[in-house]
Structure 1
Amino acid sequence: MAEILLFHHAQGLTPGVRHFAELLERAGHRVHVPDLYDGQTFDNLDEGVANAQKIGFGTILERGQAAAEGLPEDLVYVGFSLGVVPAQMLAQTRPAAKGALLLHSTIPHEEFGGAWPKGVPVQIHSMDADPSFVDEGDLEAARALVASTADAELFLYSGDGHLFADDSLPAYDEHATALLTERVLAFLAAIR
């Protein structure tokens, strides 16, 4: 069993993010899902991104760090898109991280102190034609991370949906999410 800290995307803590957390819990994992938006959710990605910009990415990182306080250090950090920012930062900077799952986004690993931590496995999942991932530098960051460590894997799914693993949003892709879920559960089962 892994203990997981899962961060939501820019549209907030949607039912789809909660469903994903519940799926991990049904597989036997303990999942913590903080609400970085204090209960707010947004109907579309543009509104969510505007809210994140209003709050400030520094504040989102601080809220992510605060969510980790009081939890064991040996966590697996999971982020959906915007949630990758605190998830990746904590995986790279908090001692004893067990792993990271970066869904729909990747930050250049140099942003959080340089090299990816040795022995911390990471999976990155996105669609191969997602403009937010492909055109905004995330794909290059993902490929650089994979090239920098044997502990990283990049999975690209056919399609252009950004938040395809959130079953409460229009971008949801059942087939891609089923494959992502299979890979995520295998990743978590291998965590020691």
Structure 2
Amino acid sequence: MALFDEIRKALMDLATSLPKINRENRKEIREIVLELQSELERSLTMAIFYLDGVSRIKPRPELLDHLYSAPMKLMDTYNQFKVCAGLYGLADRFQDVFSSLKGSIAVGQVSALENLVRDLSNGERMVMDGLRDMTGMLADFARQLDVLNGDDYDDCYRRLLDRVDLERKELKSQIEWLSKTVKEVLTKM
């Protein structure tokens, strides 16, 4: 009888602790995903504002300084390590065989949620790579504009403005994608 009492007690403890674990797991997923969304949206929005500055700054020295400073100023604003650690840790826990994380999600949604978390982690890397490329492109334009004069300068400046417009549109589409993906993750829970 003592064995059955121990089993019954263990099952009772499990039955009362599992809902709490599930709530905590869902809360952790929400916090990590929302923190990622907030951090990436902030970085993308700041990049859009920075690009807007390119078309508003007219004096050549100020424009060149603005373009040259892009890599340092924009990349320093993103707290990549904090977000990456949380997101990649979450993705790893979905892969862990004994993780309680999967148990806190409806059975039919586990695979979809795993894929969305993986998409978010890949998207986060793509966003950061895109920001690095964009800031590098701005610095490249600064180097070109720095040595040009007259019509050559004007032509290069027009190409810069065209490119800035494309980059701005791409950043806005990334914000929309991020918002849509986060919404999907949260509804799948």
Q: Same fold (TM over 0.5)?
A: no
Which has the higher relative contact order, 1 or 2, with Cα contacts under 8 A spaced 6 or more apart? 2
Q: Compare CA radii of gyration and give the structure with the larger one.
A: 2
Higher helix share: 2
Higher strand share: 1
TM-score (norm 2): 0.28
